[in-house]
Structure 1
């Protein structure tokens, strides 16, 4: 019995080793973009991107050194950096499916309802179905015409608010906020929630780069994201 189990185990190990060898051999035959040097263990090139220089300047310097396409290490993830419009055009036309996926960042998990929001959903059956529904039900000529009055009203309101913002004095604005009542407070609450939503989407979270350290929640960002998600849900339900 034990000999039989040992034979099965040895066979499985041999198959796995052979599969790894085939995969590595196949990958070696394909041309690979250069990998930027200077990656640290575990954290990769994060110190480079969080240094005194802004990220696009640091990446531009790497592009001057390694060429228009190269890879960097962001935590345990490998990222492809492209700085040539010719290559970018080829990627998003010839190889568009290969780059159609979206990373499941922490902010997307909490604020995008675990990638259910169309703008954050990974490429697949769900994304294609949602795209079809949106194209037919939301952005078709007939629907746009039906909602024309809403668009015009929103544009008019935005222009009025801009005019009000630039013409009223700060004291008058403060007085208005103090006396406007609950409707104004609800508008301000909605604006605050949306501002937090977009701020958190652009925030770096440790879990995105090093998932196994995510439980530390350095800075308490994940806790704040969960609270912001509850506020958004509350606005949606009450609205």
Structure 2
């Protein structure tokens, strides 16, 4: 008698889900809409994530004491018997503080995304005509000395007492309200996992004694480093067994 195999529900990919929606709601999910969604996922989930990860590693290499503190947290909460996973993120508050502080100093999109005023309005005493293009300069908001103590310093500890959009919305790396970036939560989790895995599995050092160049490029909607990051990484002996299985 053959043993009946347990039923395992197959997880569908994003493309499979979109094609299914096209069958049930063709008036909303045309080929152009599906292609646009996939394109936005690629653009919003690759360049922005990689840019933020590069800025974070650059800051950590220039502040090895902070890098060591993050590694100690990961080692104590995750250990060396497995890779960090999504369920670990909530147990790594200092890692989140480091990521938030990076987004404060080097927001991926320094002017957020442009919006148009739908009607005439007045904001802060300024008249905004209908149809005006509006940009939010979060780069300078995040470095305003009236709001932030030592605004140009890399101090992740400041976020131990700041929770997201509290305290007058002074930290809004993905915007606020209904027009905020819908992928902000996903981006934070993806970057947290990638950064955590890099720190868990490797020891990191600067190429030489000089500090990593932190000069930013001139991009308006994607702020990347002028000089790409170069670093020396060595596999951690305690993670050798895990790395060999990848």
TM-score, with structure 1 as normaliser: 0.21
TM-score, with structure 2 as normaliser: 0.20
Give the greater-gyration-radius structure (CA).
Answer: 1
Larger relative contact order, structure 1 or 2 (CA cutoff 8 Å, min sep 6)? 2
Q: Which has the higher helix share?
A: 1
